[in-house]
Amino acid sequence: MSEIKRAHAGRQALSQDGQKNSGGDFLSGMAGILNYSAGARTVPGFSQHLDKQEYGGAGWVGQFDWSLHISADSQRAAIHIDTECSLPTRNSLKALINGAPPPESPTFGNTSAFKMVRDFEPLQRPDAYRAGVEAILELIAAGDCYQVNLAQQFKGQFRGNPFDAFLALLNAVPVPHAGYINAGDYQVLSISPERLLRIHDRAVESKPIKGTRPRGNTAEKDLAYREDLLNDPKDRAENLMIVDLIRNDMSRFCEPFSVKVPLLFDVESYENVHQLVSTVTGTLAPGCSAFDALLSAFPGGSITGAPKRRAMEIIDALEPTGRSAYCGSLFYWDFNGNLDSNIAIRTMITESGGEIYCWGGCGIVADSDPESEYQESLTKVQRLMDTLESL
């Protein structure tokens, strides 16, 4: 983490060129992913003790001196080149703009069409997942915790270009905080609806999600699902617990008395699910960088539970596989000091050997039903897995 901050500080000092970004979009800076396992470095007193296979270690971060922006309707594009961008890169970009063919690069991997070779299968039996829920319910009843997010992993095999899979997923489930990372030996395909932190001109925003319903196949059923989510006492209590956790996290890096909850219990609807979302805001404290704030809030409370450290210990004990990028955070930290980050739910990993992994989870509280929670963990990702299996 310290290497990232040192690299950013050096380039930030060189990039004060008047190209301030009033719109909040990424122009140049650091970008990448913090894997969930990075929480062992960011949460005081927590250390992962189970030997679980992880993909990508603590994460992957790169420095980017230029960026390509494409409008939502794909009719307009713009390239931003940082003043410190190297001359060879500048010349290559100018050649591309003038119509030169792009250079061949092994970085982009297999260019053949994406195809599942073996469909997704759960790596945990349904009764084992339900037993995990029951174990959490016992811990909650004993006063050991209030809420724990329990996930299960799915595995399949594929051939072809993972970026094609990402585009297919994003087309099937358009969401505001999606992202794709090619880290060479593995790729991260995140179709996330959830923001962890956005910091622009020191204004901080987090939008935790807790509470899910499927979309209905008729307008009447869809509205009924939406209203049930909005008014369900369990979902509201679960959401409120996470809002309180986020408020506590933000109080560590925001100015005193600046943390507010302007929107509590809002429903956001996507192609596959309705989600119960709240908004927490604050003002970044003097002397604290946006990346410091991200590390302080990481991993997001909506995918751990409360209290955070104890919930992470329970997750570590009950989940048989590592989370890797799942429940981590794709982020950028630009050279103007602004940052945006997601919570990497609805996220898959592909590996160069042809394996593809997906995770689904849900929050367990005192009145959770093991079978209902198991079904919810499927509902959140079934559309994504079905999309790839149909290609």
Span 70-84, pLDDT tens digits: 776 767 888 888 888
- For the question of residue 260 being annotated catalytic, the response is no
Instruction: Band the pLDDT of 24: cuts 50, 70, 90.
Output: low
Tokens at 273, concatenated: 């699910």
What residue has token string 């602004």? 338
Q: Would you state the pLDDT for residue 107?
A: 46
Q: Is 351 left (phi over 0), alpha (psi -120 to 50) or beta?
A: beta
Instruction: State which residues form the domain around 10.
Output: 2-389
Instruction: Band the pLDDT of 38: cuts 50, 70, 90.
Output: confident
Range 137-162 average pLDDT: 96
CA distance 171 to 167: 6
Tokens at 328, concatenated: 């981590």
CATH number of the domain where residue 93 is located: 3.60.120.10
Window from 58-72, 225-239, 251-265 with minimum mean pLDDT = 58-72
**What is the chain's mean pLDDT, rounded?**
89
pLDDT at 123 over 70: yes
Among candidate residues 207, 210, 308, 380, the one labeled active-site is 210
Range 360-385 average pLDDT: 94
Instruction: Band the pLDDT of 106: cuts 50, 70, 90.
Output: very low
Q: Would you state the pLDDT for residue 18?
A: 45
Residue 63 buriedness (CB in 10 A; 0-12 / 13-18 / 19+): middle
Tokens at 114, concatenated: 């994406």
pLDDT at 49 over 90: no
Q: Would you state the pLDDT for residue 331?
A: 97
- Total count of domains within the chain: 1
- Angle (CA) 158-164-168 rounded to 5° is 100
- For the question of residue 234 being annotated catalytic, the response is no
Q: Would you state the pLDDT for residue 96?
A: 83
Q: Between 65 and 111, whose confidence is greater? A: 65
Among candidate residues 84, 104, 121, 194, the one labeled active-site is 194
Q: Where are the alpha helices (DSSP H) in 212-307?
A: 219-231, 233-251, 290-297
Range 163-183 average pLDDT: 94
What residue has token string 């000092």? 13
What residue has token string 């001109």? 201
CA distance 72 to 74: 5
Instruction: Band the pLDDT of 39: cuts 50, 70, 90.
Output: confident
Give residue-wise pLDDT tens across range 347-361: 999 998 999 999 999
Q: DSSP character for 265?
A: E
